[in-house]
Amino acid sequence: MINVLYTGDRNVFRGFALAVLTLIKYTKEPFTVHFMTVGASWDERCKKLPLEDFNKIKDVLKKLRPECEMKYYDVTDSFATHFEYSPNKKPVYSPASMTRLLLVETIKDVDKLIYLDCDTLTTSSLSAFNELDISNYEMAVSLDFMGHRWVKRDYFNSGVLYINMKMVRETRLFERAIELLKKKRFYFADQTALYKCSSKRLYIPWRFNEQRKIKNDTVIKHFNKGIRPFPFYVYNVKQWNVKKVHSFLKIHYFDDIYSQYDELFGEIAPLDY
């Protein structure tokens, strides 16, 4: 069984639903999708994804792939305990971006876990992660496309993490990252905390976290920020911004997924056309 984790608040419904549809299409092996959600009373941006919205996606999964599972975790109380008075309580992105740091205390009886941001879509089977031996590592990561040039050469992107759950329990990686965020503010809060607290990292090719153009061997496409140099500007096109995915990124790879989403969820949360 492949175990996959997504996290987020009510704003990730479209990204999460699209991501699950790509899992259904490309990962033929049985998988369990774990979803951790959170609300932050101190930040209006962060309201938890309602269970009824989660169940709309789960119903589709169970109909199309009855051998697969989906699990919902509301970690609002634990999140408040850790972060309500943290200097990172209002990060650049929604506070929900830090939810992944609670994964060890939340998800039990899992040896290996693939964490994926909700702005990722799979382009082939997640069974490709089985090729990676992480027995001597806390996690496998890919370099951050921009950060490894501007921050540090080994600065990684935390949007895709292949986690050795046994080892991170022993090293207390995620607990130490939480403690660091209680003391010091960072621009990319949880990503930088994981970078500073981890030492046993396996660096894997960008095919597992493709932050630019989809290649023939790409496993996961990550719709994160990018830069165009001439003229210089920062873009941030997400997979639900279909018009810009087509016109700006020139990506049509997921058009069948968009059509399927429109049929299943279009009246609930329309995509941007």
Residue 186 pLDDT: 85
**Helix, strand or coil, per DSSP, at residue 202:** strand
Residue 93 pLDDT: 78
How far is C-alpha 5 from the chain's CA centre? 7
pTM of this structure: 0.95
Q: Copy the structure tokens of residue 236.
A: 């941030």
Please state, as a whole number, how many other Cβ atoms lie within 10 Å of the Cβ of residue 152. 12
91 pLDDT band, cuts 50/70/90, is confident
State percent of the chain over pLDDT 70: 98
Average pLDDT, the chain: 94
273 pLDDT band, cuts 50/70/90, is very high
pLDDT in tens, 104-123: 999 999 999 999 999 999 99
pLDDT at residue 92 greater than cutoff 90: no
- Quick one: average pLDDT of 185-194? 89
94 pLDDT band, cuts 50/70/90, is confident
Strand-strand pairing, 2-8 and 31-37: parallel
Higher-confidence position of 184 and 221: 221
DSSP element (H, E) containing 196: helix 189-197
Residue 21 pLDDT: 99
Q: Where are the alpha helices (DSSP H) in 102-188?
A: 103-106, 147-150, 165-171, 173-181
Asked if 137 and 167 touch (Cβ cutoff 8 Å), the reply is yes
- Quick one: average pLDDT of 191-202? 95
CATH number 3.40.718.10 given to 2-224: no
pLDDT at residue 148 greater than cutoff 80: no
Find which of 40-44, 101-105, 187-191 is predicted with most confidence, using mean pLDDT. 101-105
Residue 188 pLDDT: 82
pLDDT in tens, 204-226: 999 999 999 999 999 999 999 88
Asked if 253 and 218 touch (Cβ cutoff 8 Å), the reply is no
Q: Copy the structure tokens of residue 167.
A: 């080892």
Nearest by Cα to 177 from 193, 161, 154:
193
Q: Where do the structural domains in the chain lie, given as residue ranges? A: 2-224
- Quick one: average pLDDT of 98-109? 96
pLDDT at residue 234 greater than cutoff 90: no
Q: Copy the structure tokens of residue 261.
A: 């989403």
DSSP secondary structure letters along 4-68? EEEEE-GGGHHHHHHHHHHHHHH--S-EEEEEEE---TT-TT--PPPHHHHHHHHHHHHHH-TT-
Residues 6+ apart with CB under 8 A from 74: 37, 38, 48, 51
